[in-house]
Amino acid sequence: MNRIEERLARLRREGKKALIVYIGAGDPDLETTRRLALAFDAVGVDVLELGVPFSDPLADGLVNQLAAQRGLESGTTPPRVLETVAAIRRESQIPIVLYIYFNLVHRAGLERFIAAAARAGVDGLLVLDLPPEESDGYETLMRRAGLCHIYLIAPTTPEERVALIARRGSGFLYYISREGVTGMQEQVAANLAERVARIRAHTSLPVVVGFGISNPDQARLVARVADGVVVGSAVVDQIARHGRSPELVARVSAFVRSLGEAVKSI
């Protein structure tokens, strides 16, 4: 098992839920990304998702689009993200997933990119626009490298395709709690428990829920029905608010700590 599988298996044995946090790599710069990763590890984040900046982030709402733009402006590239992961690995074993668009992987060369990611210390890839129906070669390379290939399931995904994705995924299954793009929401979907149960009928993999979870109260509600909670835009928004402040890491980490306390209270 790699770090993702080990962490989620341990949490399941202990009857605990996972906190997964997303940030845009290179927002506002890669040194801050490294420092945030170490701080998140210290406050109990179970898996870190690093969004690799891309010029056309189709699955992302405005908050994360702007983070990607700031990442591009700070000179963040896929090779530099991998260098940052390697730097994190010198001080931390926090499980790391790259949230990435296939164009970036394809341009680097599929086999070459996966091998480089594994060497750097990445544990999994979530390729937003690569469906499992087109992923045979990708999945084979990921398994050989010891990386988890993580897939999304949407509220609109038909039952037979839920079963397909559940068979093909590894690490965990990521359920998008609402239709549309990423972004903070005022409330959690009312049918969330039913949707998570529908996915669990097809798999023993952990089911985590993201898209729209904005505060500790919402995180606590989601943790009651899912194996893990993903918070992205709300954390990215905190980074945007504090910008270049010398207190950025401390302030964002305090917010993340409050999310972790809510998730772990279940």
Closest Cα to residue 22, out of 13, 53, 3, 11?
A: 53
Which residue among the candidates 27, 60, 123, 227 is catalytic per the annotation?
Answer: 60
Whether cis (ω within 30° of 0) applies to the bond prior to 28 is: yes
The answer for residues whose C-beta is within 8 angstroms of residue 192's C-beta and 6 or more apart is: 177, 209, 221, 222, 225, 226
**Taking each helix axis from N to C terminus, what angle separates 62-73 and 233-242, rounded to the nearest 10 degrees?**
50
Which residue among the candidates 5, 27, 29, 49 is catalytic per the annotation?
Answer: 49
- Residue 111 annotated among the catalytic residues of the structure: no
What is the rounded distance in angstroms from the CA atom of residue 184 to the CA atom of residue 35? Answer: 24
- Residue 136 annotated among the catalytic residues of the structure: no
The answer for residues whose C-beta is within 8 angstroms of residue 256's C-beta and 6 or more apart is: 19, 21, 39, 40, 43, 45, 231, 235
What is the rounded distance in angstroms from the CA atom of residue 141 to the CA atom of residue 237? Answer: 35
Q: Per-residue DSSP letters for 104-156?
A: HHHHH-HHHHHHHHHHHT--EEEETT--GGG-HHHHHHHHHHT-EE-EEE-TT
Give catalytic residue positions: 49, 60
